[in-house]
Amino acid sequence: MKKIGYILLREYLTRVRKKSFLLLTLLLPVLIGLFMVAMIVIATQAQEELRIAVKDESGLFEDKFRGLDQGEKLRFEYLTNNPQPLDTILQHYESAGYDGVLYIPAIDLDRPLGFTYYASSEIGLVTEERIEKAISEEIRKRVLERENYNTDIIDKLDKNIDITKVINNEKQDGSAELAAGFGYACGLLIYLFLIVYGAMVMKSVTEEKTNRIVEVLVTTVKPYELMIGKILGIGAVGLTQFVLWGALTMAVQTFIGILLGDQLAAVQTMQAGNGMADASKSTQIIADISTAFQALDLPRILFSFVFYFIFGYIFYASQFAAIGAAMTDDSDAQSFTFPITIPIIISMVLMSVTLEQPFSAAAYWGSMLPFSSPIIMITRIPFQVPWWEQIVSMLILLVSALAMVYVAAKIYRVGILVQGKKITFKEITKWIFYK
Amino acid sequence: MLLLDIQHIHKSFQDTFALQDVSLQMESGKIYGLLGPNGAGKTTLIRNITQIFFPDSGTILFKGEKLSEKHQNQIGYMPEERGLYKKMKVGEQLEYFAQLRNFSKQEARRKIDYWLQKMDIESWRHKTVEELSKGMQQKVQFVATVLHDPSLLILDEPFSGLDPLNAEIIKNEIFELHAKGTNIIFSTHRMENVEEICEDIFLINKGRIILEGNVQAIKQQYKKHLIRIELSRPVEWNDALEKDIQLVSNEPHQLIVKLKEPQSTNDLLRLLLQHQVEIAGVAEILPTIHEIFIQSVQEHLPVNTTAS
């Protein structure tokens, strides 16, 4: 056991001390931070002051754009007392201090056409949409009035509907979308980890084999100790990276929050939009998300993630180690890794099925079989899988991972000392039964 | 007590026999040579001793006990193909190997200091292995092998790739360790080193021991009774000489003759003196291990010579 510790430590330290590891681990949170800063800067910078003159020949929209004003950022000015024709206005609006002219012709309510914006530069997509919305809402009201309806009917028609779910007599607060998003993120992380770190284990085993260090090492340690030390050491590197990414990303976000707090708030209020209706809608969404978050069993998800992360890794890394030991040169890699990567890739396909129907037979069996359970079960857990299912799945994975280590150690032991000849899968299966 | 007592071991891989009924005994305090062509089974035999493999049948006794894991720390093995972590620093690497041998950190440091100074490679401690030349790497590998004071040192082609100067350094270290009581098994297919270093040899071919014994005794056994006579003056060969002496070659400065049964070297000298041959020097020509090796491999027959 002590020797496994030394091997683990060497594998861990040599990787963690590498410049590439440090770079990758630090760079990602910094990139995320830079991205955030860029977003804030762009959002605040793009909003320069905009004064728009409104020439309304229909006379329907007086003061209808008031709601769109945003202090100094965006201002609509209604040219009520300006009898000049559009052509004259267009010649002088810039010298009068306007950035653009919104022209509304005398329209026919049934065919509202001819709205035009004149300016020397584009207006933002959001502003354009808001203007269109304000106009169309006003037109709707006018049409209703003409047809002798009470205009309040618009507010009465505008209803938000929510479905309350009662599963097994229990009221659910959760949102399927959020659960799916969470499940997808967890599954994807485990998938990436299995592929990247599995390949790292394989490469490291093959390297030790080709430069013959194993021949020296196996006179002092047992091959299985060497293999387990390596798998655990590299796995610890992966865990470290994930923990650091999580912590650093949070730190960077907090830092940006402190540094650019004011701008951030400004962007948020801007994004929250204008008008009471919009504001209440977005608060409603935020409230929904936070109740859904509370409904997610986060401790359970975290525990399950760590469990499937570790044992899924051991299950696959030992296969990669065995294959790495059997290879005689890198050109074998493709044909050898194929049988291992296929189940991982199938799991990814199964994951999208699982997100659609988390309780289908495919999802159920996918979360039981050890080849796919690390990815599929973690995808399903936010949908509140019964505990007994998860416990059975975890037991299967645990036993399979240990069995896989045992079988892999048998292959590894023989493989690392075989040099110079092409190995077939038939031979590898024979090694398992060697004394 | 025997250092190593190998009794009737067999080892096969799938359909090929790597070792067939190999038995050998090694005494303490000697330098043994393990000779054989490539693929003869030398490495397989060594791997059975270092417990990388286990024999299909037969037993191996180490100092009278059945060879087991606890003996691993008494054995040091330097494989033919060198193995070091290329990107690791020399000092850290040696420390790692020492740790795997259950040394404490201080003890490991002390040993490493001693050996790095002894081999005059102290300045490489903080260099990575890939920065070193092949010969330098070999020295580091040697240190890694002897760091834990093994009582049995197994060296597989220790001089391959070394320049004469460094080969001499390693050779002297081997002799020094031997003088301090380390037992040494020296595996090679290059015979010229064997005569210089080994006291006893085992010749292995196709998974069997085909010749074993003391180097000098084997040479005596395989000698062809050839004598080299160095001459002060060229000899005129005549019928009288022909009658008494079997000539192999006659050159201006030397004669090579084969003794006729039951002639002794003294008899030969007497005859030559009678014929007024002027002798500057006399030496018996013994076969080289290389010649014996080739001869025995060609004979394919197991020959036994008891060590004298």
According to the model, what pLDDT value does residue B105 have? 87
According to the model, what pLDDT value does residue A275 have? 42
Minimum distance, in Å, between the CA of residue A248 and any CA atom of chain B: 29
Give the model confidence (pLDDT) of B213-236 as tens digits.
Answer: 888 888 888 888 888 988 888 877
Tokens representing A80 are 């009520």
Q: Do A220 and B81 touch (CB under 8 A)?
A: no
Minimum distance, in Å, between the CA of residue A241 and any CA atom of chain B: 22
Chain A window 414-433: which residues touch B at a Cβ cutoff of 8 Å?
Answer: 417, 427, 430
According to the model, what pLDDT value does residue A237 have? 94
Rounded average pLDDT over B94-112: 90
- Whether the CB of B86 is below 8 Å from some CB of chain A: the reply is yes
Cis peptide before A85 (omega within 30 of 0): no
Q: Which helix (H) or strand (E) holds B184?
A: strand B183-188
**pLDDT-wise least confident of A2-16, A51-65, A358-372, B192-206:** A51-65
3-state class (DSSP) for residue B120: coil
Distance CA A167, CA B177 (A): 79
Distance CA A295, CA B123 (A): 63
**pLDDT-wise least confident of A206-215, A216-225, A415-424, B259-268:** A415-424
Rounded average pLDDT over B110-117: 91
CB neighbour class for B215 (10 Å; exposed up to 12, middle 13-18, buried from 19): buried
Tokens 């014996």 identify what position? B292
pLDDT band with cut points at 50, 70 and 90 for residue B308: very low
Mutate one of B52, B78, B129, B147 to test the A interface: name it (highest A CB count within 10 A). Answer: B52
Judged against a pLDDT cut of 60, whether residue A274 lies above it is answered with no
Question: What is the secondary structure of A169-222 as a DSSP string?
Answer: TEEE---HHHHHHHHHHHHHHHHHHHHHHHHHHHHHHHHHHHTTHHHHHTTTS-
- Cα Rg for chain A, rounded, in angstroms? 32
Give the model confidence (pLDDT) of A166-190 as tens digits.
Answer: 766 666 656 677 778 888 888 998 9
Distance CA A333, CA A244 (A): 31
- Whether the CB of B213 is below 8 Å from some CB of chain A: the reply is no
According to the model, what pLDDT value does residue A294 have? 67
Q: Do B100 and A217 touch (CB under 8 A)?
A: yes
Rounded average pLDDT over A287-315: 82
Rounded average pLDDT over A308-313: 94
Judged against a pLDDT cut of 70, whether residue A268 lies above it is answered with no
DSSP B262: T
Rounded average pLDDT over B20-47: 87
Tokens 């978050």 identify what position? A293
Tokens representing B147 are 């760091």
Q: Do A216 and B144 touch (CB under 8 A)?
A: yes
Distance CA B66, CA B46 (A): 16
Give the model confidence (pLDDT) of A57-99 as tens digits.
Answer: 887 777 777 767 766 667 788 877 777 888 888 888 888 888 8
Rounded average pLDDT over A390-395: 96
Beta bridge partners of B243: none
Distance CA B183, CA A114 (A): 104
- Collect all residues of chain B within an 8 Å Cβ-Cβ radius of residue A6: 96, 99-100
Tokens representing B218 are 């084997």
According to the model, what pLDDT value does residue B307 have? 40
Distance CA A360, CA A353 (A): 9
Give the model confidence (pLDDT) of A232-265 as tens digits.
Answer: 999 999 999 888 988 888 888 788 777 776 666 6
pLDDT band with cut points at 50, 70 and 90 for residue A161: confident
Minimum distance, in Å, between the CA of residue A196 and any CA atom of chain B: 21
Q: How many CA atoms lie within 13 A of B148 on its CB side?
A: 27
Judged against a pLDDT cut of 60, whether residue A280 lies above it is answered with no
* Mean pLDDT computed over every residue of chain A: 82
- Collect all residues of chain B within an 8 Å Cβ-Cβ radius of residue A215: 52, 77, 79, 81, 83
By Cβ distance, the residue of B14, B50, B79 closest to A212 is: B79
With a pLDDT cut of 70, the percent of chain B lying above it is 96
Q: Do B86 and A211 touch (CB under 8 A)?
A: yes
Q: Answer yes or no: are the C-beta atoms of B148 and B73 closer than 8 Å.
A: yes
pLDDT band with cut points at 50, 70 and 90 for residue B194: confident
Considering only the C-alpha atoms of chain A, give the largest distance between any 2 of them, rounded to a whole number of Å: 103
**pLDDT-wise least confident of B119-123, B208-212, B295-299:** B295-299
- Whether the CB of B221 is below 8 Å from some CB of chain A: the reply is no
> Which parts of A275-424 fold into alpha helices (H)?
276-295, 298-326, 333-356, 361-366, 373-380, 387-415
Question: What is the secondary structure of A297-325 as a DSSP string?
Answer: -HHHHHHHHHHHHHHHHHHHHHHHHHHHH
- Collect all residues of chain B within an 8 Å Cβ-Cβ radius of residue A214: 83
pLDDT band with cut points at 50, 70 and 90 for residue A279: very low
Rounded average pLDDT over A179-202: 89
Q: Answer yes or no: are the C-beta atoms of B24 and B212 closer than 8 Å.
A: yes
φ and ψ of A330, to 5 deg: -65, -25
Question: What is the secondary structure of A78-94 as a DSSP string?
Answer: E-TT----HHHHHHHTT
The residue type found at A297 is: D
Q: Answer yes or no: are the C-beta atoms of B143 and B94 closer than 8 Å.
A: yes
Mutate one of A220, A230, A418 to test the B interface: name it (highest B CB count within 10 A). Answer: A220
pLDDT band with cut points at 50, 70 and 90 for residue A400: very high
Q: How many CA atoms lie within 13 A of A416 on its CB side?
A: 31
Q: Answer yes or no: are the C-beta atoms of A390 and A377 closer than 8 Å.
A: yes
Q: Which chain A residue shows the shortest CA-CA distance from B144?
A: A216
Q: Calculate ∠ Cα B28-B34-B36, nearest 5°.
A: 165
Tokens 């240190």 identify what position? B143
3-state class (DSSP) for residue B201: strand
Residues found in chain A: 435
Distance CA A162, CA A180 (A): 18
Which has more pLDDT, B178 or A422?
Answer: B178
Between the ranges A6-10, A128-132, A419-423, B248-252, where is the mean pLDDT highest? A6-10
According to the model, what pLDDT value does residue A417 have? 82
CA B260 vs CA A22, B97, B257: distances in Å: 81, 59, 9
Measured from the Cβ of residue A248, the count of other Cβ atoms closer than 10 Å reads 18
Nearest in space to A189 (alpha carbons), one of A234, A241, A231: A241
Q: Answer yes or no: are the C-beta atoms of A47 and A95 closer than 8 Å.
A: no
Beta bridge partners of A119: A100
Beta bridge partners of B184: B31, B153
Q: Do A213 and B83 touch (CB under 8 A)?
A: yes
According to the model, what pLDDT value does residue A50 have? 79
Q: How many CA atoms lie within 13 A of A297 on its CB side?
A: 15
With a pLDDT cut of 70, the percent of chain A lying above it is 84
- Whether the CB of A156 is below 8 Å from some CB of chain B: the reply is no
Distance CA B146, CA A172 (A): 69
3-state class (DSSP) for residue A371: coil
- Whether the CB of A169 is below 8 Å from some CB of chain B: the reply is no
According to the model, what pLDDT value does residue B268 have? 85
Q: Which chain B residue shows the shortest CA-CA distance from A4?
A: B100
Distance CA B256, CA A161 (A): 116
Phi/psi region, residue A365 (left: phi>0; alpha: psi -120 to 50; beta: rest), is alpha
Rounded average pLDDT over B78-94: 86
Q: Calculate ∠ Cα B162-B166-B170, nearest 5°.
A: 100
Tokens representing A418 are 């075989």
Nearest in space to A229 (alpha carbons), one of A118, A128, A318, A127: A318
CA A81 vs CA A69, A85, A208, A243: distances in Å: 20, 12, 87, 65
- Collect all residues of chain B within an 8 Å Cβ-Cβ radius of residue A220: 72-73, 97, 100-101
pLDDT band with cut points at 50, 70 and 90 for residue B303: very low
**Rounded (to 5) percent helix, strand, coil in chain B:** 35, 30, 35
Distance CA B101, CA B74 (A): 10
CA A147 vs CA A133, A140, A401: distances in Å: 21, 11, 73
